[in-house]
Amino acid sequence: MLQRIILNGFKSIKTMDLELRPLNVLIGANGAGKSNLVSFFKLLNEMMAGRLQQYIATSGRAQSLLHFGPKITPQIEFEVDNGMDTYTLRLFHAAGDTFFLLKKPISVLSKQSV
């Protein structure tokens, strides 16, 4: 189970550090980013299934996924922690209005080996 998400530069979310519990309720004003957090989970799901480019195509354009566009936010960075491992990844805005993802995670910290 995911225990923590740190997300930077995704849609209306400039910076977010969220600890997750077994039950989570999203409450906030219109435009606070609730739907964008749900969209981030969809992005994660599509990335894990190898369908990042299809997700971008159906979401509009890559630049629309960046906080205020690529001139302000050239990448989406996120860290997910499942209690045993922490994964940090970056999606860089690339030519053709798409994203470039490094083939391997930037960092994987296994808490079992620490």
Q: State the pLDDT at residue 110.
A: 73
pLDDT of amino acid 39? 96
Cα distances from 21 to residues 17, 25, 83, in angstroms, run 13, 10, 12
- What are 34-76's pLDDT values in tens digits? 999 999 999 999 998 999 999 999 988 999 999 999 999 999 9
Residue pLDDT, tens place only, 3-34: 999 999 999 999 999 999 999 999 999 999 99
The CA distances from residue 65 to 17, 48, 60, 97, 99, in Å, are 18, 18, 9, 11, 10
One-letter identity of residue 39? S
